[in-house]
Amino acid sequence: MEVIVAKTAGFCFGVKRAVDKVYEQIKNGKQPIYTYGPIIHNEVVVKDLDEKGVKVVDTKEELAALKEGVVVIRSHGVGKEIYDILNENGVEIVDATCPFVKKIHKIVSEQSADGRQVIIVGDEKHPEVQGIKGWGNDETKVITSYEDFDHLQIPAEKRLCLVAQTTFNYNKFQELVEKISRTSYDINVLNTICNATQERQVEAKKVASQVDVMLVIGGKHSSNTQKLYEICQKECKNTYYIQTLDDLNPECISSACNVGITAGASTPNNIIEEVHTNVRVKF
C-alpha cells in the first residue's frame, strides 16, 4: 500500500506560535495561566495543557472576574472589547493572535473608520470571525453566500469592504467576490485568506484525486479541517474525518491500494505521524 502524506499537513505558523507561547508560560512558572477559549481546536493539546494547570475561560463574564494571572489570547484573536476588559482588571496579556488575523483586525478598524461597511465572509459562530467583527461597528456583517449578501439589502450608496475568514474556502470566496462585483456597489475587496490555508487546500485536493482512500485528521471543531474534508470528499468518495488513530476504522482502508493523509492547522505532528506509521505498517 502506498501512503501519501500532504507536505502542508499539520500545525501552521500561527497555531504553532500560539501553542508555543502557552508552553513557554508554563516553563517560566507563571501561575495561574488561562486561555480565552481553547488555545486551538484540538482536544489532545487542550487536555495536555489542562493537566499542566492551564485553564480555559469561555465567557466574557468569567474573564471579567479574573483579577490576577496570565491570559493567553489564542491564534483566532479577539475583539477590542476583550483587551479592554483585561487591561481594566490589570491582568497580564500574552497575545498569540495569528499575524494574518491581526492584519484583518487592522483592516476592519481602518475601513470602518473610513466610512465603509465591512462585510466578513466566513462562519459567524467561529471565534476568529467573532473577533474580527469586534474591530468593526454596528454595520459590520457576516455572510457565507451571495444569498446572505442579498438579504442584507444594503443601500446602493453604501461603500463596502469585503474581507474573509483566514480559513475560508478560497474557491468559494472567489465565486462570491465575482457575484458581488457585478453589483453597482463601490466595493473594496481584500483577500485575507491565509496563504498557508490556500496551499493546504490545493494540495489536499490534489492528493485526494490520486488515492482510493483519503484521511483528514483534525479536531471536530476545527473550521479549516472541516473545509479540507469538504474539498477532499469531492475528489475522493472514501474520505474519512478522524481526530486520532483511535477513530480510524481498519475496514475503511483494508482494500485500498493507496491512501492519502492531510491534517488541519491544529493537528500536532505526532498525531499525523502515528496515523501514517500505523496505516503504512499494518496495512
How would you label 181-201 residue by residue, b for 16+ Cβ within 10 Å and e otherwise? eeeebebebeebbbebbbebb
Cell numbers that stand for 85 in this block: 476588559
Alpha carbon separation from 116 to 79, 157, 164, 168 (Å, rounded): 19, 11, 16, 22
Is 128 marked active-site? yes
Ramachandran category for residue 53: left, alpha or beta (phi over 0 → left; psi -120 to 50 → alpha)? left
One-letter amino acid for residue 91 of the chain: V
Of 128, 139, 157, 199, the catalytic one is 128
> Reduced to 3 DSSP states, what percent helix, strand and coil does the chain have, rounded to the nearest 5?
45, 20, 35
DSSP 127-192: HHHHHHHTTS-TT-EEESSHHHHHHH---TT-EEEEEE-TTS-HHHHHHHHHHHHTSS-EEEE---
- The H-or-E segment that residue 36 falls in is strand 33-36
Cα–Cα distance measured from residue 270 to residue 9, given in angstroms and rounded to the nearest whole number: 12
Cα–Cα distance for residue pair 77/120, rounded to 1 Å: 15
Length in residues, the chain: 283
The residue behind cell 483494508 is 254
Alpha carbons within 13 A on the beta-carbon side of 164: 23
Q: Which residues are catalytic?
A: 128
